[in-house]
Structure 1
Amino acid sequence: MTTDTLAIDYFLAAHQSELKQLNELSESCHLVSVLTELIHQLQKERGLSNIYLVTEGQRFAQERAQQLRESVQAEGTLRRLLKNFSFGLHHKASFYSRVAFALNGLDQLRLIRPVVTQYRINAPEASGHFSQVISKLLQVVFEIADRSTCPETARALIALFNLLQGKEYAGQERACGAIGFAAGEFDPERLEQLDLLRDAQASCFELFLSHSDRSQVARWREIEALDCSHELLKLRQITQTAGKANIPGALTEIWFDVATARINKMQELEHVLLSDLMGLTQQQVQKAEEEFAANHGNLEALIHCKAEREPEGGLASDTETRALNDPGALGGLFELIQQQASRLQQLNSELNEVRQSLSDRKVIEQAKGLLMQKHGVSEDKAYQSLRRVAMNKNTSLIQIAEQTVASLSD
């Protein structure tokens, strides 16, 4: 009986492919770390720019100038990393497209900053430009989460993505609230926007918690118990009851500082999640390398043994054939292939369960895109429209998104 070397080649190729995917995922996780830092800096720049514009440079001019330097430095780190990034076959076309869109958004932001400095744009418009760029950067993180081939890594990436997205809504709330406090009033439209942003945060943080481990959940509970979180709740109540009443300007800095303290704590939790994620991917790479080496050694021993036992005529005796194909002998090829197939099937099943929230996200993104195309509105406005309908109908956002896609795709 002749060993099927072609089957062995493909068996080992499957291991090599899995190992390559894990190595690329490890590289991508480093990219996520750089992306999250840039997003954080842009979020802070957005909030400072809003106050700077509303007060015509009377507040936070120096802080904004310093923050601009921080944002540019973080952007430079991202661009240097992307120049040396591996263009592997396992990256989807959508991943490269998202990166291109994000870089283009950063290029456009360079043109907006001088306009902000010269007060030639209002705060809501400037905030919208920042939010669009941040959204594009988050989409890159989403693409990385979507292509994870390991349930544990996918779960960790989904938890991180939802924390990032919730933190972005917290940043938008900080920016939106800063405009109202700096202006001394909150009109109905701004109050509605704040309500939607708070509801969106709650949804994201709920998904984050559902994909997090106990230690990460405990850290989140600590954030909820912080003084800044309680102070933010009090300031939120002021926005709800103030309306068009004259609000003391001093509350602008208080609002910004309290919201920033809470967001900074979220960033610390991001670092914990990123550290756990990097450790997890490194463990998986090491495990895959060890399994590949072990299986490669077993197969070499199997081939060598068969070559020695095979008679000159090319046929082995029945006894030898049974011994060499016994799953318990030398890690028989059949057993190895069966184990690999069973493991991959289990991984795929677990991945399908974990990725449900990613599938929901894709539907929501599709619904937003259709609304933007049909009504010519911004991404923020499209999302607010979906959330408003969901709240009014007392139903889930994903149900409204599915209905929107069904009605607008016809």
Structure 2
Amino acid sequence: MMTDISPAQTITLAKIRHIEELERLDSCIAFVEKIGQLIHQLQIERGASCLFIASGGQRFSAERAEIVAQNQSIETVFTAALQQHLDRNSRADAKQLTLISWILLGLDQLTTLRHQITLLNISFADSIESFNRLIGSLIALIFEITDSSVNSKISTCLLTLYNLIQGKEFAGQERAVGAYLFGSGSLQLPHQQKLFELIAQQERHFELVCQFGSKELCEAWQQWQASDWQLQHAKYRAKLTSARDQQTLTPSHADLWFDLCSRRLSEMWQIQCQLVDTMHELLAGLTRQAKQDYEQTRQYLQTIQASPQANLNSTFFNLAIPVENALNFQAHDTSQTYPMASMIALLQHQSRQIADMETELSDTKKALTERKLIERAKGLLMSTLGVTEMEAYKTLRSTAMEQNRKVIDIAENILASHRQPG
């Protein structure tokens, strides 16, 4: 038997759906937190593995074995969190699931990679790139989860976190390349060029961290950048970036460089943890607010339904009450007063809330869309020119500088030209 459905039921259902969305976001943040932990530990293992290989297995053997044991436990925690994430999020789309498949494949084959490193059957460069590939797939998953968020405040926090983790990953790669250069005792131009690219990538992502991060985070970031040991890191970075091809470097500086970079990564990790805690606190507050809103809405509906003055059947066609903006979920005049409590007033308020959320979300979504377009343009350049990812981005950036335009504009032109027939 069919039952009648009323505006009051659908209004309250919308409030319930909003609460459910926030609860879903809570599980997403918990999962992103586990992804971040796994990335951090893999970065530590990558550093130890690189030093182990660079020393011909003479150093960091015991430290690396301990790190691997820790990471195996974290991988178990990650897979459990992944299963929980999928159980609670039936909306995970094909892109997320495909990325997850790649990640699981990489984790399955991590034991083999570790065995090759132990036997010194893999080169320094290939070891780095192997870890980079797995870490890159995990960071890509964070991006896709960020892209699926429909809450503006949480989406902005997730975008800040994504750029922090991505910048931190490039900082980790800088540590490995710099350690190799110092350890080798001489400067090689290809590795120096790689270093320049990694520095530029960090700057790009850290600028976005400050753009989307809170005022407090940006102030803390600037203070951290001005610290004494950061200035010391910059000093040793300058030794690498200003050296000439085949110029002699001091091998003993490799350990100091590695320690400075490791401290830098640890500081970023602390900021990352603080940002995750902030998201949990923010989401808890949003959930409390949503539940209060639901209860107030329920009481309001009871009030207007009990009111003998509330002519609910005629208010929709009362042409003195503007509803067009509300129907299109656009911002509208909040000073409009109503002669009585009505369903229209409640719907106007709810439409305004949704419009405000969508307006706040637009800047975040724009940044996400731009990143997607730039990645697609990079992929197209990589396939057509046969260049690396870094070289493709360098082409985009240099073209943008030559033409005095934004990188996103160049990316859009490249994609548009590729779509044109002939």
TM exceeds 0.5? yes
Determine the C-alpha separation between the residues in 1 that align with 2:133 and 2:68.
17
> Offset at 1:15?
1.7
2:411 maps to 1:401:
yes
Q: 1:328 to 1:379 in 2, by over 3 A?
A: farther
Given that 1:109 and 1:129 are in contact with CA atoms closer than 8 Å, whether structure 2 keeps it comes out as no
2:203 maps to 1:202:
yes
Letter in 1 for 2:376: Q
Q: 1:187 to 1:385 in 2, by over 3 A?
A: farther
2:119 maps to 1:118:
yes
Give a deviation string over 1:80-126, Cα, whole Å, max 9, x none. Answer: 11122234344333223322222222223332111111111111111
> Offset at 1:375?
5.2
Q: Which structure 2 residues correspond to residues 192-341 of structure 1 after superposition, within 5 A?
A: 192-242=193-243, 243-303=245-305, 305=306, 321=311, 329=340, 331-341=341-351
> Offset at 1:149?
1.8
Q: Which residue of 2 aligns with 1:152?
A: 153
> Offset at 1:333?
1.5
Moved more, 41-50 or 57-66: 57-66
Given that 2:19 and 2:291 are in contact with CA atoms closer than 8 Å, whether structure 1 keeps it comes out as yes
Q: Which residue of 1 aligns with 2:353?
A: 343
Determine the C-alpha separation between the residues in 1 that align with 2:67 and 2:388.
26
- Give the match's secondary structure for 1:156: helix
Q: 1:394 to 1:166 in 2, by over 3 A?
A: farther
Letter in 1 for 2:361: L
Determine the C-alpha separation between the residues in 1 that align with 2:418 and 2:112.
34
Moved more, 250-259 or 6-15: 6-15
Q: Which residue of 2 aligns with 1:72?
A: 72
Given that 2:192 and 2:241 are in contact with CA atoms closer than 8 Å, whether structure 1 keeps it comes out as yes
Give structure 2 stretches of 5+ with no counterpart. Answer: 316-336
Moved more, 290-299 or 375-384: 375-384
Give a deviation string over 1:239-259, Cα, whole Å, max 9, x none. Answer: 124442332321111111000
Determine the C-alpha separation between the residues in 2 that align with 1:320 and 1:246.
86
Determine the C-alpha separation between the residues in 1 that align with 2:302 and 2:289.
20
Give a deviation string over 1:172-206, Cα, whole Å, max 9, x none. Answer: 11111122122222211111110011111111111
Give a deviation string over 1:277-333, Cα, whole Å, max 9, x none. Answer: 111111111111111122123324444x27xx6xxxxxxxxx66389969565x521
Q: Which residue of 1 aligns with 2:8?
A: 8
Letter in 2 for 1:108: Q
Q: 1:260 to 1:58 in 2, by over 3 A?
A: same
Q: Which residue of 2 aligns with 1:44?
A: 44
Determine the C-alpha separation between the residues in 2 that align with 1:271 and 1:137.
17
Given that 2:310 and 2:342 are in contact with CA atoms closer than 8 Å, whether structure 1 keeps it comes out as no
| Count, aligned residues | 394
Determine the C-alpha separation between the residues in 2 that align with 1:235 and 1:225.
15
Q: Which residue of 1 aligns with 2:366?
A: 356
Q: Which residue of 1 aligns with 2:319?
A: none
Q: Which structure 2 residues correspond to residues 137-176 of structure 1 after superposition, within 5 A?
A: 137-176=138-177
Determine the C-alpha separation between the residues in 1 that align with 2:95 and 2:183.
40
Q: Which residue of 1 aligns with 2:58?
A: 58
Determine the C-alpha separation between the residues in 1 that align with 2:344 and 2:134.
51
> Offset at 1:385?
5.1
Q: Percent identity?
A: 29
> Offset at 1:393?
6.3
Give the alignment's Cα RMSD to 1 decimal: 2.5
Q: 1:204 to 1:48 in 2, by over 3 A?
A: same
Relative to the length of structure 2, the TM-score reads 0.85
Determine the C-alpha separation between the residues in 2 that align with 1:117 and 1:322.
75
Given that 1:193 and 1:384 are in contact with CA atoms closer than 8 Å, whether structure 2 keeps it comes out as no
Letter in 2 for 1:282: A
